[in-house]
Structure 1
Amino acid sequence: MEILDILIIGAGPIGLNCALEAKKNNLSYLIIEKGTIVNSLYNYPLYMRFFSTAEKLEIDEIPFISAAPKPGRQDALEYYQGIARHKNLNINLYEKVLHISKREEEVFEIETSKSKYLAKNVIISTGFYDLPNLMNIPGENLEKVKHYYTEPYPYAKQKIVVVGSSNSSVDAALETYRKGAEVTMIIRHSEISENVKYWVKPDIENRIAEGSIKAHFNSELLEIKEYSVIFKDKNGDLHEIENDFVLAMTGYLPDFDFLKNAGIDLQEECLKPAYNSDTMETNIPNLYLAGVVCGGKDTHLWFIENSRIHAEMIVNNIHLKDE
């Protein structure tokens, strides 16, 4: 069986960047991806626009041409998938990595849903969009509860509860309201998040102020029923309101079990994985992290702009070991 120089888990923007860096340095590599190329991006809301400008989303200094100052989902799909095609990157799609183990001869064995592979080095670049941050309340498993939002049209003329005040929550609230939904936001904090896109924040605040969108701040959703929800307000009083759908935009988390099973140490509270910030190497020699997965529960620490450098850091470290 061929022994790869690098096996990369995840074909997101940073995983692709790692592959480009490996290819430039004549290292044999393979990306394993359980979905499509930039799978998380594919599952983003259809009309999502990035906070960043196009040049901050570029990888390997390949120009990202966008008609709008802030690229949208489709722009990014065209850009990243286009790179994968034109650079003819080695990618196996719709194949899930099940287990990583290390042989005595310091080679990793990677077992997937389709095959087994051997590699001298492994890069985990799996992002954080796969696992919803669950509320763990009664009724969360009902079919009407959605942790992923794609477009507003299914919610026309429906009573919607949106949980949270982040960008995804605000986008869902505004879009569904404008397609005829009756929207109520239930928000743990005292105001809309400061991290909401600056050109969107006044819009949601004005819709709340005029009463077009109802918002309960310092409040908590306690239970979801088939035709209603129960929440606690800032005074501790309970309220039950009619409801057709719940959009629980409560965030997402990396697959911590996968990291632990690979032998990576995790800090107790934030579950931040152990790695060397100069090389991106974990406590397991030759097992590296790249991208947002490095932040543990703090999924806002790393994004495309500031983690593009991880690919070069990792490949440089691999070369140093080979000298």
Structure 2
Amino acid sequence: MSENHNHYDILIIGAGPIGMACAIEAQRANLSYIIIEKGALVNSLFNYPVFMTFFSTSQRLEIGGVPFVTISPKPNRNEAVEYYRRVAEKFNLHINLFERVQQVTKNGDSFHVNTAKADYTAKNVIVATGFYDVPLLMNVKGEELPKVTHYYKDPHLYAFQNVLVVGANNSGVDAALETYRKGAKVTMVVRSAELGKNVKYWVRPDIENRIKEGEITAYFNAEVLEIRTDEVDIKTQEGIKTIPNDFVIAMTGYQPDFNMLRKFGIELPDSLCPVYNENTMETNVKGLYLAGVVCGGMDTHKLFIENSRVHAELIVKSIVNPVEI
């Protein structure tokens, strides 16, 4: 482990769009800062499917006042990854990548932050870790098999294979359609009685027609019972069905790292929505702030890049001009 020791006004955990926005605001306020990121720059976006298209327009994904110029109104994953990299270059943001934060401890008026590579102290800490790192598990036998994934990337891997897609929100629908078009025999398992209500409006007719035509088989009000090397058991309204299977793409959703938040001393009530002041984004721990999707707890559809960019401004304003209560 490195012996270096650094002190900052703000230490930001997470180099996603909102963590970067916090760094830009800190820079503008002449505050010293560092971003610590356990993976690549905008790691969650990097792990999105390679052909994913955002629901939002490029303007609503902008940070730092830097224009996000795209040919189509709705940018794709590759355009977004490149945009945020260029933003990091433009502002020369101080980012340590591939460095995992292990502990944050309050010592008097400052924090001690221990990572896998170094130790830091900071007057303030911002947690902007998103929610994409902890998948919601099905908790079924065989879920640990190598053929099961909770992160869908590229449809080519599944060409001419028997693929089971679990879930029918945007990620599940995209995986089903893209793998189907690569020649996969696709079966969808959906817990509810219908497709997700928030499925992209330009995609919904496509998946509905593929199901209607029998090109994709969909079981509604169904669930996975067991996964084996070459087949899967599904509980359906008609009874238990066993189907041949090569891969399971479990698009069952994600959640913030609640254990990490508790470890940092942040209060989590039964709702699992972290305790914080909506005007300052400060948690129950003085000087420890939340920014971005992590604020929503289990309601991961509540906050997005476009409606949580303001968190950066609120936090830095609170740090620069603290209001004593």
The normalised TM-score by structure 2 is 0.97
Question: Which residue does the alignment assign to 1:157?
Answer: 160
Match of 1:266, SS? coil
Whether the 8 Å contact between 2:149 and 2:250 is mirrored in structure 1 is yes
Tell me which residue corresponds to 2:297.
296
- Quick check: 2:6–2:119 contact (8 Å CA) kept in 1? no
Note if 1:254 corresponds to 2:256.
Answer: yes
Q: Percentage identity across aligned positions?
A: 58
Alignment match, 1:244: 246
Cα distance in 2, alignment partners of residues 246 and 22 from structure 1: 43
Deviations 1:121-166 (CA, angstroms, capped at 9, x unpaired): 0000001111111111100000110111111111111111000001
1:274 corresponds to which letter in structure 2?
V
How many residue pairs match? The answer is: 320
Partner of 1:102: 106
Other structure's SS at 1:76 match? helix
Task: State the Cα deviation string for residues 20-56 of structure 1 (Å, max 9, x = none).
Answer: 0000000000000011110111111000000000000
Partner of 1:36: 40
In the alignment, the residues of structure 1 paired with residue 316 and residue 302 of structure 2 have an alpha-carbon distance, to the nearest angstrom, of 22
1:125 aligns with 2:128: yes
Task: Report the secondary structure of 1:71's partner residue.
Answer: coil
**Offset at 1:310?**
0.1
Structure 2 alignment gaps of length 5 or more: none
| Aligned-partner residue type, residue 253 of structure 2 | G
1:77 to 77, 81, 93: 81
Q: Which residue of structure 2 lines up, in the alignment, with residue 233 of structure 1?
A: 236
**Residue 18 of structure 2: SS of its match in structure 1?**
helix
Displacement of 1:231: 1.1
- CA distance in 2 between counterparts of 1:106 and 1:260 reads 20
Equivalent position amino acid for 1:90 in 2: H
CA distance in 2, matches of 1:153, 1:25: 46
Moved more, 14-23 or 74-83: 74-83
Matched residue type, 1:79: Y
**1:13 is aligned with what amino acid?**
P
The equivalent of 1:308 in structure 2 is 309
CA spacing shift, 1:53–1:17, aligned 2, 3 Å:
same
Q: Indicate the SS of the match to 1:31.
A: strand
| Letter matched to residue 147 of structure 1 | H
Report the CA distance between 1:3 and its aligned residue. Answer: 2.6
Q: Say yes or no: does 1:58 pair with 2:58.
A: no
- Aligned ranges 1:202-221 → 2 under 5 Å: 202-221=205-224
- Distance (whole Å) between structure 2 residues aligned to residue 271 and residue 229 of structure 1: 33
CA distance in 2, matches of 1:216, 1:3: 55
Matched, 1:89 2:90: no
Question: For the residues of structure 1 that align with 2:241 and 2:80, how far apart are their CA atoms?
Answer: 42
**SS of residue in 2 equivalent to 1:321:** coil
Q: Are 1:321 and 2:303 counterparts?
A: no
Deviation of 1:322 after TM superposition, in Å, equals 8.4
Structure 1 partner of 2:202? 199
d(CA) in 2 for partners of 1:315, 1:220: 46
Which runs of at least 4 in structure 1 moved beyond 2 Å after TM superposition? none
Cα deviation for residue 86 of structure 1 reads 1.5
Q: Secondary structure at the match of 2:78?
A: helix
Shift of 1:253: 1.1
Report the aligned-residue RMSD.
1.1
Partner letter of residue 70 of structure 1? K
Give the Cα separation in 1 of the matches to 2:134 and 2:235: 26
* Equivalent in the alignment of 1:135: 138
SS of corresponding position for 1:81: helix
Find the aligned partners of 2:139 and 2:278 in 1 and give their Cα distance: 34
Instruction: Write the letter of the residue equivalent to 2:282.
Output: E
Q: 1: CA distance between counterparts of 2:154 and 2:106?
A: 43
Separation of aligned partners in 1, 2:240 and 2:277: 48
Deviation, 1:2, is 4.3
1:166 has 2:169 as partner: yes
Alignment partners' CA distance in 2, 1:209 and 1:322: 59
Measure the CA separation in 2 of the matches of 1:314 and 1:234. Answer: 50
Distance apart, 1:252 and its partner CA: 1.0
